[in-house]
Structure 1
Amino acid sequence: MRELTPKQSRFLAIALLAFLLGLAVLAIAAPVLLLHQHYDVALEGLGDRLTRYGRIVAMRPEIESQLKIAQDKRASRFYLKNSGPSLAAAEIQDIAKIVIEQHGGKLTSMQVLPHKDENAYRQVTVNVQLSGNFQALHEVIYALENTQPYLFIDNASIRSPLSATARNAADAELYVQLDLVGFAILKGEQ
């Protein structure tokens, strides 16, 4: 091998020093840059997630109002549709007439009794008089108490015919008087 001139030796030393410095900078900077890139990607993902969550949170009042409407609709099916006393009584009368006729009973009369307001509800009562054999009355009463809107039977009175022979017959006509009670939600109280 031949010896280098002092100028070449200095140049080689500077080049070797520059190479080692570059290697040292690369050894330090590369992990820092890779870590920085990793955090940039993570921050971007978290920013997207934060934006999505922000949109979801912004939708909350609308979703809660829709949920309340759905819950009110579900609960309202158990109450009379009309809160006015005469319309609510007419609704009860219509239901009673249909149920009695469908199950073989005979409607004698109906009379609307005074309504009662309690808190956010209105209690509407209709006095119903009907007749029919035992099986028909059993079906009528069962159907009345299982309708929607819910109707409740109160003050029921069942009488059999006066004659002993008619009383013993299997299909003897029975006379029933009962109060049919339904509830309506008062509109101003909701």
Structure 2
Amino acid sequence: MSRTAQDRWLALGLLCGLLVLLAAALWPWFAAPFAAVDARIADLAARDARLRGLLLQRTQVEERLAALEARGTASDFLVEPTAELATASLIQQLETVVGDASPGGRGCAIVNRTPIEDAGQAGRYRRVTVQVRLRCGNAETLAVLHALESARPYLFVDALGITAQRFFAVPGSAQPQEGGLDVNFNLYGYLRPVAGGQRGD
């Protein structure tokens, strides 16, 4: 092989090596955008599959929600037809719970129970609220709160404030009781919605 032919093959080899090095250096610049697009496509495909699965369950979900609403209408709402009657029932239930937690009123007493109007209510469900203040011992306070929030129809305790006291007076007792809590909260439940979207007044 002549000297000229050897030089040509050497130049061709060097050119190929240079092209390989250049391709290796430039490959990340081209490959990274394509990899990002592939990852985005895979993510969208998985999301589409999840949404299609949820759409297939739409009928079952709607049936379950209808069953829960029907059951709730029957037993989870206050049974009284008007806010006034529901408020009276709420106060009576509070008195019963406090009496059960502290027989004879020795460890817990109702200081105040005031119905409050929830202004600006909108929607299908109307809330009936009583503002409550108790003076109770620690154990009686826990018993009262637990009994109220475990009741059926459902009752809720909101805006709870508890202040420790060194002594507190118990009705019917000449001597103040040592220790205890001054407890304030809002007790509320919901009136049962009626047909046509109207609510009890």
Map 1:89-100; keep pairs closer than 5 Å.
89-100=87-98
Q: Paired residue for 1:108, among 105, 111, 127?
A: 111
The answer to whether the Cα contact below 8 Å between 1:115 and 1:124 also exists between their aligned partners in 2 is: yes
| 8 Å Cα contact 2:166-2:180 kept in structure 1 | no
Find the aligned partners of 1:135 and 1:156 in 2 and give their Cα distance: 16
- SS state at 1:185 partner: coil
Deviation of 1:187 after TM superposition, in Å, equals 2.5
Whether contact under 8 Å (1:83, 1:122) holds in the other structure is no
Equivalent of residue 139 in structure 1, options 127, 143, 150: 143
CA distance in 2, matches of 1:115, 1:84: 14
Distance 1:120 1:74 in 2: 14
Structure 2 unpaired stretches of 5+: 1-65, 103-107, 168-176
Q: Give the TM-score normalised by structure 2.
A: 0.51
Kindly state the Cα deviation for residue 147 of structure 1 after the two structures are TM-superposed. 0.3
Q: How many residue pairs were aligned?
A: 117
Identity %: 23
The CA distance in 1 between the partners of 2:116 and 2:74, in whole Å, is 23
Contact residue 83 and residue 187 of structure 1 kept, 8 A: no
Q: CA deviation at 1:94?
A: 1.1
**Alpha-carbon separation, structure 1, partners of 2:157 and 2:70:** 25
**TM-score, with normalisation over the residues of structure 1?**
0.54
Which residue of 2 is the match for residue 78 of structure 1?
A: 76
For residue 176 of structure 1, the aligned residue among 183, 190, 201 is 183
Map 1:23-172 to 2 at 5 A: 72=70, 75-104=73-102, 105-115=108-118, 117-161=121-165, 172=179
Secondary structure (helix, strand or coil) at the match of 2:126 reads strand
What is the letter of the counterpart of residue 79 of structure 1? F
Larger radius of gyration: 1
